[in-house]
Amino acid sequence: MKKQEKIVYQTISEEEPYCQICGQAYNLHRHHIRYGACGRKTYFGNVIVLCENCHRMVHTNKKKWQPVLIEMADEHERIMNRE
């Protein structure tokens, strides 16, 4: 894992220590919204914290959840750019 990835993972886990879908605060996973295979890297607007159940749900029904997660990531980036 690269230094940049470690920084992103640690920071997002500290700032958002709960599932971004259901709010659960345990069994948390970090999920890449835009997948690395698509040429996207690990950066703050591309990683979201999900609980184990929501992470499984997102991967099971990508057609439904991918647009929702992209909108969440875009909103997060808009907020970060205002600060």
Write the CATH number for 40: 3.40.1800
Q: What is the pLDDT of residue 22?
A: 93
Query: Span 60-83, mean pLDDT?
Result: 82
Return the structure tokens found at 4.
């940049």
> For residue 7, what is the DSSP state?
H
* pLDDT of residue 44 exceeding 80: no
Q: What is the pLDDT of residue 37?
A: 47
Return the structure tokens found at 56.
């499984």
The total domain count for the chain is 1
Query: Span 21-46, mean pLDDT?
Result: 73
Return the higher-pLDDT residue of 73 and 2. 73
pTM score, whole prediction:
0.71
Q: Which of 23, 21, 42 is nearest to 33 (CA)?
A: 42
Range of the domain at 55: 3-82
Is-contact 28 22, C-beta < 8 A? Answer: no
User: Nearest-5° angle of CA 66, CA 37, CA 64?
Assistant: 10
